[in-house]
Amino acid sequence: MKAVILAGGRGKRLRPITDYVPKPLIPLNNVPIIEWQIKYLKKYGVKEFIICTGYRTEQIKNFLETKNNLKVKIRFSEEKTPLGTGGAIKKLRKWIKNESFIVINGDVITNININNLKSKTNTIASIQLKTKFGILDVKEDKIVNFSEKKQVEGLWMNAGIYYFSDKIFKDLPSKGDVEKTTFPKYAKEGKLNIIKFRDVEWYSIDSFKDMEDCSIRIKKIIKN
C-alpha cells in the first residue's frame, strides 16, 4: 500500500522555527515529525511513500535520503507554486494507478488504526471532539446568562487522514484544497464516507504547546 504525506506547508504559526526548518523536520523527542509518521504508517504495512513538498524541499529530501534505517521506498513530488491539498494529490496520478492509497497531513501524530479505513474508499478518519467551553446567552449587547465550561460532546472532527480510490483523481482540483472542493461535492452526492475513532491519541502540531504536549506522549503513541 502507498501513503501520501502532505508536507508542503510553511508552518507560519510555528515561526521562528519554521523560518529555518520545514515543519515536517521539527523534532519531537529529537525525532522529526515526518520520521515519526513513516514509522507509524510502516506498522500498517505501508512500504511506499510519496512526500508532497513545497517549502524547503531540499532539506526534507536530504534528511530522508540519508535515513537508511527506515527501509521504505520514498518518492518526492515538489510543488514549485502552492497547489493546495487537492492539487498536490492530483499531481500524483502518474504514480498511483488501479489502487487505493492513504493520505495524511504532514503535521498529524496519532495512533489511529488505518487498517480500519479500508472497509470503504473515499473515507475520512474522524475523531470525537471532547472539549469544554464557557456558554454565553446573549441578548443584543448584554450577556443574560453565563455558564462556565460545559462539556461539548457528539462532535466529530476531520483527523487529516484519508483513504482514497484512484478514481478520485478525476474529481480533484488542479489547484485548491480537497477539503473545500471535492469533499463538499462528494458529501452532497453521498460519496464521502467516515470511520469514527473513539479514545485515540491525536495531535496536529500547530503550536508550541502542541509540540510540548505531543513530545511527552509520543513514545507511547508510536511504539516500535
Residue 203: which H helix or E strand, with range?
Answer: strand 202-204
Per-residue pLDDT band for 56 (boundaries 50, 70, 90) equals: confident
Separation CA 158–CA 167 (nearest Å): 21
Which of 149, 167, 180, 196 is catalytic? The answer is 149
The per-residue pLDDT of the chain, averaged, comes to: 86
Max CA separation in the chain (angstroms)? 63
Separation CA 90–CA 99 (nearest Å): 14
Segment 87-135, tens digit of pLDDT? 999 999 999 999 999 999 999 999 999 999 998 889 999 988 766 555 5
Q: What is the per-residue DSSP string for 114-157?
A: GGGGGGSSSEEEEEEEEEEEEEEEEETTEEEEEEEEEEEEEEEE
Residue range 199-212: average pLDDT?
88
Residue 196: which H helix or E strand, with range?
Answer: strand 193-197
210, three cell numbers:
502542541
- Which CATH superfamily is 2-127+156-221 part of? Spore Coat Polysaccharide Biosynthesis Protein SpsA; Chain A (3.90.550.10)
Return the closest-CA partner of residue 26 out of 215, 201, 160, 200. 215
Based on the residue annotation, tell me whether 80 is a catalytic residue of this protein: no
Q: Which residue has the higher pLDDT, 149 or 109?
A: 109
Cα 78–chain centre separation: 18
Question: Could you count the other beta carbons within 10 Å of the beta carbon of residue 28?
Answer: 23
| Residues 10 and 81 sit within 8 Å (Cβ to Cβ) | no
Residue range 169-197: average pLDDT?
92
Residue range 31-38: average pLDDT?
93
Residue carrying the nine cell digits 496520478:
93
Alpha helices of 177-207 — where are they, by DSSP H? 182-189
> pTM for the full model?
0.87
Give the model's pLDDT for residue 224.
57
Per-residue pLDDT band for 16 (boundaries 50, 70, 90) equals: confident
Separation CA 47–CA 143 (nearest Å): 56
